[in-house]
Structure 1
Amino acid sequence: MTTAFHVPTVDISSYVGAGTPEERAATAAAFDEAARTVGFVQVLGHGIPTAVTDAFAAALDEFFLLPLEVKKQYRTPPEINRGYAPPKTESLSLSLGLAPSNRMHDFFEAFNVGAAVSDFPGLDLPAADYPENVWPAEASSFRGAVSAYSDEASRVARTLTTMFADALGLPGGFFERYTDHSLDVLRMNDYALEPGALELDGDLTGMGEHTDYGIVTVLWADQVAGLQVLGRDGAWHDVQPADGALLINLGDLMARWTNERWMSTLHRVKPPIVHGSIQRRRSAAFFHDGNIDAVIETLPTCVGDGSPYSPITVGEHIRAKLAGSRAGVANTEAEREAARVLAA
């Protein structure tokens, strides 16, 4: 008998507040079970005020509902992971080395902000990896609301890595030295296009099959269909956030660190089509990726009988992924993930 696919729910309030050691141990164990079996988790008790997420959602509307020609003024070169990305200028499956004819075909549009050189005075960080942000002048509330939400998502991500150390039997604060100048990016996505802007030909892809690149992703999303997760049964399953929940998933670097004890789960977004039209869907993924110069190698508590992963820096890994999704250069270092897509 096939077991129904289910995304576990974990309340992290014991880590957000002053939880007892017993409460934290139970929370860490629950997350460990979810990370080993599904790789996606519904997180409650995260502490982000509703007023912050409401203002953030309004800011997304303010920007994404601007005319396309206005939004295109904030487009940056593919190697600069900031600013605006118009529809059909990326292909996330190329981050795994997969895409039909290597064409850029994902129909989402996005706007990226993230950690910048100016955020870390005194550190000699590469501007190509920590570029300064661009902010749309035509959306007056955008910068303030986005920055407020980004700060909260960053707090949640760091709360999670505190919990990760407990769940993996590591010393307290283990991940801090790998993330004190973390290459964090907030990617805001919009999945609606004007009538006639998209050819409804063949199998449409809102966002192609991919794994996330870094340590952990904190995802805010509308309760609109579209997100699908690849289960261990080899089938794609629909996932929507529960009321008040954030969706949390792990990235490739955490899979490397844990020798795949924790899963970097493949996921995609299929177009939410209602009565022949694409239903608008918004999401925002906060990627907590780690320090650009941090070396990721299998954790001592996860080595077991050996690891297939050789050490790699965060920078080397992220650059190969972005070269695929944003510049169309197929990633040749993701054979294990690509095989999982092809088998689905």
Structure 2
Amino acid sequence: MAAPFVVPTVDLSPYVQDHGPAERAVVAADLARACREVGFIQVVGHGVPTAVTDGLAAAMDDFFAQDLAAKKRWVRPAAENRGYSPPKSESLSYTLGVDPVTRMNDFFEAYNVGASDDDYPGFTATSDDYAANTWPDTADFEPRVTAYFAEARRVAHVLQDAFADALGTDRERFAAVSDHAINVLRMNNYALPPGEIDLGADLTGMGEHTDFGFVTVLWADQVAGLQVLGQDGTWHDVMPADGALLVNLGDIAARVTNDEWMSTLHRVKPPVVDGTIRRRRSAAFFHDWNADALIETLPAALERGEAFYEPVTVSEHVAAKLRGSRAGVKNPSAAREQARVEAVLG
């Protein structure tokens, strides 16, 4: 019988405050266990000020409160992964090669910002992976969002160091493939005005998917909707604990560990209360490593058997995922993740 599904809580303060090696070793061991058994973690002691998360929430509120026509002014080409994504313009399940019930059916709306080539002096970008940001003209959007972006990036790098320790890998190995990382912050809004959606339908706030990169740091409302696929083959509701950020692994983590740490399948199924969808917001910071980095299985992971994945660059991997979510082109290179979803969906 599978163990009960529990998202473990891990206190990052020994890493954030640079405590001694013994205390950090305990944290690394706790993270390793969580990564093997669940793939989602509640992290506390992360050091992100409440004022910064409050500012992020306010910036999101100001932007998403506008009418759709105003927000559509900030739509960017899909390949750039920047700017505004309107409702029902994506289907995340295509990133796994799985057909959704209805094409481009995910009803969330989002705004993306990310690291641009200006953030990495001396590095010459050769693709859309480091596209410039477009900043909406709502009051103080840019400073409030960039303040949170900086904090989330710091937490992601703390986690990366802790994960290296947990895997017994030199931290410099990961640092070398993330010195010009494709970091993206996606701010999501799941509420739509009344009358725009059939409340009797099987609502898909965000289809089942895995994240593309190494690690995701998620700020979210304490509202039900996020569901995680457990090892028991069923979906479990997850929401952040008081003061916690949610952390989950992405595809790069799965590939480098040969699925010892699995990229966590998750989705959003919004709660309907008294005939209306309860509002839910989230902001996912994706730490996706360098565009030109080759994702390869760690030698220690290969000692346990053959590699499940062929080497691929981060840019190639992300592009295949984006073609799925944004263009409706099923991803042909996600066979292992697709099998996990189809086993659950029947």
Instruction: Show CA shifts across 1:107-140 (max 9, x none).
Output: 0000000011111222111241111000111x11
Measured after TM superposition, the shift of residue 102 of structure 1 is 6.6
Identity of aligned residues (%): 61
> For residues 338 and 57 of structure 2, what CA distance do their matches in structure 1 show?
33
Measured after TM superposition, the shift of residue 201 of structure 1 is 4.5
Measured after TM superposition, the shift of residue 101 of structure 1 is 6.3
> For residues 202 and 275 of structure 1, what CA distance do their matches in structure 2 show?
15
Structure 2 SS opposite 1:302: helix
Q: Determine the structure 1 residue equivalent to 2:76.
A: 76
Would you say how many aligned residue pairs link Structure 1 and Structure 2?
Answer: 343
Measured after TM superposition, the shift of residue 39 of structure 1 is 0.3
Partner AA of 2:336 in structure 1: R
Q: Determine the structure 2 residue equivalent to 1:159.
A: 158
> For residues 129 and 21 of structure 1, what CA distance do their matches in structure 2 show?
36
Partner AA of 1:328 in structure 2: G
Q: Determine the structure 2 residue equivalent to 1:179.
A: 178
The answer as to whether partners of 1:117 and 1:126 remain within 8 angstroms in 2 is no
Partner AA of 2:299 in structure 1: P
Q: Determine the structure 2 residue equivalent to 1:8.
A: 8
Deviating more after overlay: 116-125 vs 31-40:
116-125
Instruction: Show CA shifts across 1:193-225 (max 9, x none).
Output: 001111234311000000001100000000000
> For residues 204 and 317 of structure 2, what CA distance do their matches in structure 1 show?
25
Asked if 1:288 corresponds to 2:287, the answer is yes
Q: Which runs of 5+ in 2 are unaligned?
A: none
> For residues 3 and 176 of structure 1, what CA distance do their matches in structure 2 show?
35
Q: CA RMSD in A?
A: 1.1
The answer as to whether partners of 1:102 and 1:328 remain within 8 angstroms in 2 is no
Measured after TM superposition, the shift of residue 75 of structure 1 is 0.5
> For residues 69 and 320 of structure 1, what CA distance do their matches in structure 2 show?
29
Instruction: Show CA shifts across 1:68-102 (max 9, x none).
Output: 11000001122120000000000000000112367
Deviating more after overlay: 42-51 vs 1-10:
1-10
Compared CA separation, residues 305 and 108, structure 1 to 2 (3 A): same
Equivalence map 1:1-344=2 (5 Å):
3-100=3-100, 103-137=103-137, 139-303=138-302, 304-344=304-344
Measured after TM superposition, the shift of residue 334 of structure 1 is 0.5
Moved beyond 3 Å, runs of 4+: none
Measured after TM superposition, the shift of residue 309 of structure 1 is 1.1
Partner AA of 1:184 in structure 2: N
> For residues 160 and 173 of structure 1, what CA distance do their matches in structure 2 show?
14
The answer as to whether partners of 1:117 and 1:127 remain within 8 angstroms in 2 is no
Partner AA of 1:209 in structure 2: E
Q: TM-score, normalised by structure 1?
A: 0.98
Deviating more after overlay: 168-177 vs 103-112:
168-177
Deviating more after overlay: 38-47 vs 172-181:
172-181
The answer as to whether partners of 2:135 and 2:142 remain within 8 angstroms in 1 is yes
The answer as to whether partners of 2:2 and 2:231 remain within 8 angstroms in 1 is no
Structure 2 SS opposite 1:167: helix
Q: Which runs of 5+ in 1 are unaligned?
A: none
Measured after TM superposition, the shift of residue 16 of structure 1 is 0.4
Structure 1 SS opposite 2:319: helix
> For residues 328 and 117 of structure 1, what CA distance do their matches in structure 2 show?
28
The answer as to whether partners of 1:254 and 1:264 remain within 8 angstroms in 2 is yes
Partner AA of 2:46 in structure 1: H
Structure 1 SS opposite 2:105: coil
Q: TM-score, normalised by structure 2?
A: 0.97
Structure 1 SS opposite 2:208: strand
Deviating more after overlay: 225-234 vs 298-307:
298-307
Structure 1 SS opposite 2:171: coil
Measured after TM superposition, the shift of residue 62 of structure 1 is 0.6
Measured after TM superposition, the shift of residue 189 of structure 1 is 0.1
